[in-house]
């Protein structure tokens, strides 16, 4: 679905106040008008002092951000809007330290907001599956300063990456998963989470990918040979290279705990690379349909 395009000048003119942001957010959350989350009644009173909507029928009160990624946030919508705009309009990604400086919020607040936005990105893309011809491979990622062997014998964090191709053989959409190990069971589980059954999956010649043959997929495994078959897994390897540049260039390397969130960010950006000035509203819409995550959940999760 197409979303309204908003340039930087339009953004500045349209959202100068908290009230302007609240009005826009309410139109995205309730495109057909307010509906009580308890009884679905349409008439309400807005209680200005508490920022709550009170249903005329059942008297239930709800806030505009209830059930969204901003639920119980102490940061105003104006700051949220600015962070989302800055975040979506830098295709290289943007670090929490820069957001904190530009918006005038603490580093802790900026860090938490960005991780919440990455959760909204991941939850939104989880609704879609790759289809048609799909390239799949594994790659390994390490924290800053982490050393060791390279390739599949490394002690770095493994991940499985898949990209769907169009009829011309060009990349369409990408999915990425941090995994515990690269084995047949993990490959099949990742495929089921990200790829439509019946799709053709092209891989290298590693034996673990043969498990796809018995998992409702067409599988074609072939040893990578850049000299004689340069197109085999070409786009997948380009994307993996871009992903590593994205992680090292903007975030200077990441450890395992939060790696999946940054994968989600990269995928969301890549999958919407043709939408440019629509990205602000697209992410805002994802925020509306995503339940929040707390700081305790983020720092306590093994892969957050």
Residue 232 lies in a domain: yes
* 52 and 161 housed in the same domain: no
Give the CATH number for residue 177.
3.30.420.10
Q: Average pLDDT in the 213-228 region? A: 90
The per-residue pLDDT of the chain, averaged, comes to 91
% of the chain at pLDDT higher than 90: 79
| pLDDT confidence of residue 93 | 87
Of 272 and 228, the one with more pLDDT: 272
Q: What is the pLDDT of residue 154?
A: 60
In a domain, residue 172? The reply is yes
Predicted confidence (pLDDT) per residue in 150-202, tens digit: 555 567 899 999 999 999 999 999 999 999 999 999 999 999 999 999 999 99
What is the value of pTM for the model shown?
Answer: 0.91
Domain boundary among 24, 46, 64: 64
State residue 304's pLDDT score: 35
Give the domain extent around 52.
Answer: 34-64
Where residue 35 falls (left for φ over 0; alpha for ψ -120 to 50; beta otherwise) is beta
Structural domain ending residue among the three candidates 46, 64, 82: 64
Give the total number of structural domains in the chain.
2
Query: 59 in a domain, yes or no?
Result: yes
Among 7-21, 75-89, 238-252, whose mean pLDDT is lowest?
238-252
Residue 87 pLDDT more than 60? yes
């Amino acid at each position: 679905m197409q979303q309204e395009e908003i340039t930087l000048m339009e953004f500045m003119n349209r959202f100068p106040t908290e009230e302007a942001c609240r009005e826009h957010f309410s139109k995205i959350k309730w495109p057909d008008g307010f509906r009580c989350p308890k009884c679905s009644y349409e008439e309400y009173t807005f209680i200005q002092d508490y920022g709550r909507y009170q249903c005329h029928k059942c008297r239930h009160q709800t806030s505009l951000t209830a059930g969204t990624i901003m639920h119980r946030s102490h940061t105003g919508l104006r700051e949220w809007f600015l962070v989302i705009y800055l975040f979506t309009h830098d295709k290289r990604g943007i670090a929490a330290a820069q957001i904190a400086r530009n918006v005038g919020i603490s580093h802790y607040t900026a860090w938490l907001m960005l991780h919440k936005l990455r959760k909204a990105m991941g939850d939104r893309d989880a609704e879609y599956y790759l289809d048609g011809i799909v390239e799949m491979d594994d790659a390994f990622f390490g924290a800053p300063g982490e050393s060791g062997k390279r390739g599949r014998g490394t002690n770095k964090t493994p991940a499985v990456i898949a990209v769907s191709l169009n009829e011309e053989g060009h990349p369409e959409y990408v999915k990425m998963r941090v995994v515990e190990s690269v084995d047949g069971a993990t490959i099949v589980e990742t495929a089921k989470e990200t790829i439509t059954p019946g799709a053709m999956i092209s891989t290298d010649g590693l034996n673990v990918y043969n498990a796809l043959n018995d998992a409702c997929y067409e599988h074609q495994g072939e040893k990578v040979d850049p000299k004689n078959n340069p197109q085999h897994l070409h786009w997948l390897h380009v994307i993996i290279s871009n992903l590593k540049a994205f992680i090292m260039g903007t975030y200077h390397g990441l450890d395992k705990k939060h790696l999946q969130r940054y994968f989600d960010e990269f995928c969301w950006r890549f999958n919407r690379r043709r939408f440019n000035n629509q990205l602000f509203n697209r992410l805002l819409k994802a925020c509306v349909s995503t339940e929040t995550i707390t700081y305790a959940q983020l720092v306590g999760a093994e892969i957050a």
